[in-house]
Structure 1
Amino acid sequence: MEPLIREARPEDKPFIEEIARLTWDGEDYLAKVFDDWLKDGGFYVLELEGKVISTAKMTLLPEKVGWLEGLRVHPDYRGRGYGRKLHSFMLELGERLAREGKIEALEFATYFLNRESIAMAKKDGFKIVERFYYVQRALGDGEKPKPSKSDSLEELDYKGYIPYGWKFLHRCEESLRWLNRKAEIREYKGLKFLYVPMHENEPAFTPFKLSTESIKTLLPAMSFEARKIGYDSVDMMLPEDKSDLIEPLKELGFKNWTDFKEPDVLVFRKKL
C-alpha cells in the first residue's frame, strides 16, 4: 500500500505519543505540543496501512518564514525513505506558499550531529545562517519574577536571530510583537528573560541581556519558572558570537553536550 501524506487529526495522538516515547529516550516534546500544533495548522503525518509513522510541521514565523520542525519517523520504519518523502512534501508546500506570497524562505534548526537531516538539507539548497551553543544548568534556589513585556528590540542582545526555544526569530519589529503575544516574558531585578510555553516547544530560556552578571542575576528567577512548569534545568541558547561568555558560564555551573568544543545547534535557511 502506498503511504498517504495528510494533515494531522485528533485521532492521530496515540501514534504521535508512541513515536515520542521511542525518540530521544522518551524525552521528545512531540506529544506535549500535539494539541497546540493541531490547532495551529501546518501539521502533517505520513500514514502507512492505517498507522501514522512520520510527522512534520511548518510554522509561519515573522518576516515570511516557513519554519520546519517536528520531522520524525517511527524507529521501526527508519531507513526506508519515509522521512525523505515527507520532507519533500514539506518543501513542495513551502514552494506553494511562496507562490501565494505567504512566505519567502524556509528555515529550521537541528543538532549538529543530526547528520542525516543536515545532509538532506544541504542537498536541497539549505545553508547554515547561524550557530548556537545549547547550555544547561541544574536548578538553584528560586525567586518569583513578575510578568513583563518587551518595549524595544534594543533590550535584546541578539544580532541576527532571537532564540525562542528551538525556534529562532529574525530580529525585527514583527518578531517583537510576536514575542509579546506568544512568549512568557518575565522581569526580575530590572532584567528580563523569556521562554516558550510548554505546549509549544522545549522551554529554553532567553535572557534579554547576554552578560555574566545579568545571567547570574536571573538564575533564581529562571530556576523558579523552570520548576513551576516541571522542568529540571535552566536551558539557554548562546549565540556563537558570544563565545566569550563560555568560561564565565562554566563557572556558573552551565554545561554543554560537546563541552563547548563547537556550536551544536545549527540554523538553516533556504530562500524561495
Structure 2
Amino acid sequence: MEPIIREAKPEDKPFIEEIARLTWGGEDYLARVFDSWVEDGNFYVLEFDRRIIGTAKLTFLPSKVGWMEGLRVHPNYRGRGFGRLLHNFIVDMGRKLAEEGRIDALEFATYFLNRESIAMAKKDGFKVLIRFLSLAAKVKDFEPVEPEPAELTMEDLTLGIIPLGWKFVHRSEEALEWLRRKAEVYEISGFKFLVEKGRATFTPLSFGLGCIRAMLPAMAWVAKERDEVFELMLPASMMEVLPGIKRLGLGLWDETDEPNVLVFRKGLRAIQG
C-alpha cells in the first residue's frame, strides 16, 4: 500500500493522541491542539497500513509567512523516509502559495537537538533566521503573585522577531494585531509579558535579570492552573547571563552553551512569476 497524505479529519484524533503519547515523553502538545488545527485547516495526516502514522501543519502568520509545524512520525515508522515525505509535501504547498502571492517565505522553529529536521531543512535551502533560548521552571518553586492584565502596544515589541509559544512573528502592525488576538498580556512591577492563551510558554517583554526575577512569580501564578512546569522564551543574547538565570530557578532541558531554539526561513518570492 502506498502512503497517502490527506487533510486531517475529526475521526483521526485517536491516532494523533497515540503519536503524542509516544513523543517527547508524552509531553507533546499535538493532541491538545488537534481540534483547533482541524478547524483552522491545512492540517495533514500521513496514512499508511490503514492507520495514521504522521502529521504536518501549515499555518499562515503575519508578514506573509507560511509557518511549518506539527511534523510528526509514529516511532514505529521512523527512519523510513516518511518525515521527508511530509516535509516535501509542505514545502511544495509553500511554493504553490508563493506563486499565488499568498506567502513570501516558509519558516519553522525547532529544538537544537532535532538533528534530522535541521539537516533536512538545510539541504532544502532553509537558513537559520534567529536563535532563542528556552528555559523551564517549576510552579512549586515560586510563591505565585497575581499580575494585572495589560494592553499590548508597538512600543512593547522591542524585538524584531517576537515569540509566542513556539511560533515567531516579525515585528509589524499586523503582528501586533495577531498577538493581541492570540496572546494574554500581563504586567507586574511595570514589566509586561506574553503567554499563548491556555498554554504555559512565556515571552518577557523586558529583559535583564532583575526584570525576569520580578516576572517569575507572576508567570507561576498564570501557569499554576495549566501545568506544573512553565517555559520562558528568551533572546539569544541572554546566554551571556545564563548562570544568573539559572540562579533564579530556571533550567535547560538539555545542557548547552548555545541557544537551544532555532528559527529557520526559506524565501520563496524568487519563484513567483
The superposition leaves residues 184-217 of structure 1 with CA deviations (integer Å, 9 ceiling, x where unpaired) of 111223221111123xxx6310111112122111
Task: Give the AA of the match of 2:152.
Answer: S
Q: Give 1:259 deviation, angstroms.
A: 3.3
Corresponding position: 1:114 with 2:114: yes
8 Å CA contact retained: 1:112, 1:265: yes
Rounded Cα–Cα distance in structure 1 between residues aligned with 2:182 and 2:230:
20
Q: Which residue does the alignment assign to 1:235?
A: 231
Q: Which residue does the alignment assign to 2:153?
A: 151
Corresponding position: 1:257 with 2:253: yes
Q: Which residue does the alignment assign to 1:130?
A: 130
Q: Give 1:219 deviation, angstroms.
A: 1.3
8 Å CA contact retained: 1:156, 1:209: no
Q: Give 1:49 deviation, angstroms.
A: 3.2
Unaligned runs of at least 5 residues, structure 2? 269-273
Rounded Cα–Cα distance in structure 1 between residues aligned with 2:113 and 2:238:
21
Q: Which residue does the alignment assign to 1:2?
A: 2
Task: Give the AA of the match of 2:9.
Answer: R
Report the more deviating stretch, 251-260 or 77-86. Answer: 251-260
Q: Give 1:83 deviation, angstroms.
A: 1.3
Rounded Cα–Cα distance in structure 1 between residues aligned with 2:194 and 2:5:
35
8 Å CA contact retained: 1:157, 1:210: no
Unaligned runs of at least 5 residues, structure 1? none
Indicate the SS of the match to 2:224.
helix
Indicate the SS of the match to 1:256.
coil
Q: Which residue does the alignment assign to 1:189?
A: 189
Runs of 4+ aligned structure 1 residues displaced above 3 Å come to none
Rounded Cα–Cα distance in structure 1 between residues aligned with 2:28 and 2:47:
20
Q: Which of 198, 210, 235 pairs up with 1:213?
A: 210
Pairing of 1:54-73 with structure 2 (within 5 A) = 54-73=54-73
State the Cα RMSD in Å: 1.3
8 Å CA contact retained: 2:128, 2:263: yes
Q: Give 1:260 deviation, angstroms.
A: 4.3
Rounded Cα–Cα distance in structure 1 between residues aligned with 2:252 and 2:231:
10
Aligned residues: 266
TM-score for the superposition, normalised by structure 1 = 0.94
8 Å CA contact retained: 2:239, 2:258: no
